[in-house]
Amino acid sequence: MSTIRRHLRGEVFLTSLPVAVVVSVILAMIVVCAGRGRPCQSASAYGKATAPTSDVPSERDAPEVRPAEPRKVNSLGMQFVLVSPGEFMMGSALSETFRGDDERRHMVKITRPFYLAVHEVTVGQFRKFVEATGYLTEAERLVQPGDAATAQTDPLGSRTWRDPGYAHDDDYPVTHVTWHDAQRFCTWLQSREGLVYRLPTEAEWEYACRAGTTTPYATGDSRESLRGSANIAAVPVEITGSAQWDDGFHFAAPVGRFAPNPWGLCDMHGNVWEWCSDWYDATYSGGTATDPEGPASGKDRVMRGGSYRLSHASTRSANRAFGPPHHFDATIGFRVALDCRGGVRVSRDGPRGRS
């Protein structure tokens, strides 16, 4: 189909890299399937995993976070901005370039304020979680050093958050984390601070990404508008017909290296994909247009924002991607939301705010 051809022609191309790295990236591209670069790697490539449940706390109350402060910093040093209620047009206009069929434009109301992390969760923050709990990510439990099968599937994808396959430090976004891993991090943070940490819903994510804008990107209409605001992939002029993109990073960049959006959030466009709490549904069904939370069940979880491995097409505010909740690779991370309301409801899937 045309969308797949578009992806193979133009979505990813990293230049000025060692041959081995380029080969690795091309192999990685093969496992990124569907129209606009959706990392929907099948479960079979990594084997099956079951969501760990041993450290899920039981239901209990938590102190209320009053949404009075426009910014907060938690005990890990994570910065948050207050996202106020409002309404916006979710999805994309029919005329939007690179638009997907699952981006039906519709009004969404966000009635509850929440805090959203300024940055993607970093390696250093995730390390504190691991050191405190002894947690092993699903990638660590599945990936065996020298495992020929996983190495052939995706040389970078078969690594773990400890060694993502490129130079990094604690300020880089954590990668190779599954949706389950992200939930465990939220559960731990909730236990540590007695506050409701969770993944943002898909609607909350797009609302915050747009930050009041209606253009394909919070920065404007074009790839050029993203300059200085997003870490995306270089795309050669022979593919796009326009100038090659160079933002200084072939792989992930330390969080916050690029300019924030109008609401103070960094890397909503690009750097690493971000898991959302919702099950994916192509029609946005399963919820009303007021504080929608997605379908009650499903096969894949939503991820948003594109990554350093894909072009501007995948980092559009409305672009939707998805993958099995046990999927991981070198381009997937997450950011967390903090509820403004008291009370914690913990399910097998992780913490959610009380309605």
195 or 329, CB closer to Ca ion? Answer: 329
Smallest distance from the beta carbon of 267 to Ca ion, in angstroms? 4
**At its nearest, how many Å lie between Ca ion and the CB of residue 245?**
7
Q: Which of 154, 181, 206, 247 binds Ca ion (CB under 5 A)?
A: 247
- For residue 140, the minimal CB distance to Ca ion (Å) is 23
Taking the complex as a whole, how short is the minimal distance between the CB of residue 168 and Ca ion, in angstroms?
A: 14
- Considering the complex, what minimum distance in angstroms separates the CB of residue 274 from Ca ion? 5
Which SS3 state, helix, strand or coil, does residue 89 take?
Answer: strand
CB nearer to Ca ion: pick between 7 and 223 = 223
Of these, 103, 154, 206, 267, which contacts Ca ion (CB under 5 A)? Answer: 267
* Tokens matching residue 24: 């690795």
Pick 247 or 300: Cβ nearer Ca ion: 247
Strands (DSSP E) found in 203-292: 273-279
- The residue within the footprint of Ca ion, chosen from 153, 229, 231, 314 (CB under 5 A), is 231
CB 249 within 8 A of CB 16: no
CB 210 within 8 A of CB 90: no
Torsion of CA 267, 272, 276, 280, to 10 degrees: 130
Q: Which residue's CB is nearer to Ca ion, number 139 or number 321?
A: 321
Q: Phi first, then psi: give them for residue 96, nearest 5 degrees.
A: -70, 130
Q: Could you tell me which residues come within 8 angstroms of residue 338 by beta carbon, excluding any fewer than 6 positions away?
A: 65, 72, 74, 80, 114, 115, 116, 117, 195, 196, 197, 198
- Binding part of the chain for Ca ion, among 26-34, 125-133, 192-200, 302-310 by CB under 5 A, reads 302-310
Q: Does 305 bind Ca ion (CB under 5 A)?
A: yes
Question: What are the helix (H) ranges across the chain?
Answer: 2-6, 19-31, 123-133, 138-142, 148-153, 179-193, 202-210, 237-240
Q: Tell me the C-alpha distance between 119 and 43, whole Å.
A: 28
- The residue number whose beta carbon is nearest to Ca ion equals 305
Q: Minimal distance in Å, beta carbon 165 to Ca ion?
A: 15
For position 339 contacting Ca ion by CB under 5 A, the verdict is: no
Q: How big is the site for Ca ion, counted in residues (CB under 5 A)?
A: 7
- Which of the ranges 40-48, 76-84, 212-220, 266-274 carries the binding residues for Ca ion, by CB under 5 A? 266-274
101 to 82, 106, 110, 139: CA distances (angstroms): 32, 13, 24, 32
165 forms part of the interface with Ca ion (CB under 5 A): no
The piece of 37-45, 127-135, 185-193, 308-316 that touches Ca ion (CB under 5 A) is 308-316
| 128 vs 250 by CB, closer to Ca ion | 250
- Strands 273-279, 332-333: pairing kind: parallel
In the bound complex, what is the minimum distance in angstroms from residue 53's beta carbon to Ca ion?
28
Which residues, at least 6 apart from 192, have a Cβ–Cβ distance to it below 8 Å?
Answer: 75, 132
Q: Which helix (H) or strand (E) covers residue 287, if one does?
A: none
Binding to Ca ion by CB under 5 A, coded x per residue (else -) over 191-230, reads ----------------------------------------
Selection from 83, 342, 121, 100 nearest residue 216 by Cα: 100
Q: What phi and psi values does residue 197 have, to the nearest 5 degrees?
A: -95, 140
Residue 270 C-beta: closest distance to Ca ion, Å: 6
What are the structure tokens assigned to 166, written together?
């490129």
Which of 79, 187, 271, 314 touches Ca ion (CB under 5 A)?
271
Site string for Ca ion, 44-63 (x = CB under 5 A): --------------------
Give the interface with Ca ion as residue ranges (CB under 5 A). 231, 247, 249, 267, 271, 305, 308
